[in-house]
């Protein structure tokens, strides 16, 4: 005998990582207030492990070849959104002429947020500096004018309001990682918290 509310076990969509649910919305979650960053003030800097700096202005970024990846995104708070379309510049383009022997990158954002990644996770078509979402300029609450997009990891790794990358030989935890979140954040392995 079954209760009226029982409809059997639902099949999980194989494109949905474990523990996630689908949403049509784009929830806004931030570690602090939205910093006021205009395209006129925005700049992006890559600093190598030797201290060499490479910098781009908004105009520089707009002059680079852009791509339009369509990707699924997964938040550590358990929502996922399928088929999101972005416009941005691949980090492969930005790092093409940067000489480095680094293995890690610490991402810096306006407002002081940081997150860490293995360098290999932002290369080979895996990451972009995104400035449009669904054909419109990226809204400030979603990280505009430019955010990092690393869709194969939980979305806290796709830092909003990005201002630079620090290339390093050794890994250094970022904001959420220091507060107990997983150091890597693979949604398919449910790496939400330290120890997962």
Sequence-ordered list of residues with C-beta below 8 angstroms from that of 110, at least 6 positions apart, any chain: 35, 37, 161, 162, 163
pTM of this structure: 0.91
Q: Is 120 exposed, middle or buried (0-12, 13-18, 19+ CB in 10 A)?
A: exposed
Give me the numbers of helices (H) and strands (E) for the chain, helices first please: 3, 11
| Nearest to 136, CA basis, from 144, 147, 125 | 144
Q: What is the third-level CATH fold of 40-189?
A: Sulfite Oxidase; Chain A, domain 2 (3.90.420)
**Residue 44: pLDDT band by 50, 70, 90 thresholds?**
very high
Place of tokens 């997962």: 196
Strand pairing class (147-149; 79-90): unpaired
**Residue 161: pLDDT band by 50, 70, 90 thresholds?**
very high
Domain boundaries in the chain? 40-189
Would you say residue 104 has pLDDT above 90? yes
For the chain, give the percent of residues with pLDDT over 90: 84
pLDDT digits (tens, 9 = 90+) for 109-147: 999 999 999 999 999 999 999 999 999 999 999 999 999
Contact 19, 190 (CB under 8 A): yes
- Angstrom distance (rounded) from CA 196 to CA 10: 25
Contact 145, 58 (CB under 8 A): yes
Concatenate the DSSP letters of all residues of 74-123 into one string: E-TTSEEEEEEEEEEEEHHHHHTT-----SEEEEEETTS-EEEEEGGGGS
- Angstrom distance (rounded) from CA 132 to CA 88: 7
């Amino acid at each position: 005998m079954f209760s009226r509310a029982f409809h059997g076990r639902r099949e999980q969509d194989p494109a949905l990582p474990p523990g996630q649910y689908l949403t049509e919305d784009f929830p806004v979650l931030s570690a602090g207030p939205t910093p006021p960053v205009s395209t006129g003030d925005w700049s992006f800097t890559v600093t190598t492990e030797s201290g060499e700096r490479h910098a781009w202005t908004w105009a520089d970024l707009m002059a680079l070849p852009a791509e339009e990846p369509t990707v699924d995104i997964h938040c550590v708070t358990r929502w996922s959104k399928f088929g999101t379309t972005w416009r941005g510049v691949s980090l492969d383009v930005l790092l093409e002429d940067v000489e480095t022997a680094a293995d890690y990158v610490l991402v810096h954002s306006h407002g002081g947020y940081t997150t860490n990644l293995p360098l290999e996770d932002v290369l080979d078509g895996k990451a972009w500096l995104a400035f449009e979402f669904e054909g419109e300029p990226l809204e400030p609450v979603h990280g505009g004018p430019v955010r990092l997009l690393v869709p194969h990891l939980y979305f806290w790794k796709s830092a909003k309001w990005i201002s630079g990358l620090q290339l390093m030989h050794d890994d250094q935890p970022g904001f959420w990682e220091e507060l107990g979140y997983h150091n890597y954040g693979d949604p398919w392995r449910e790496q939400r918290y330290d120890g997962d």
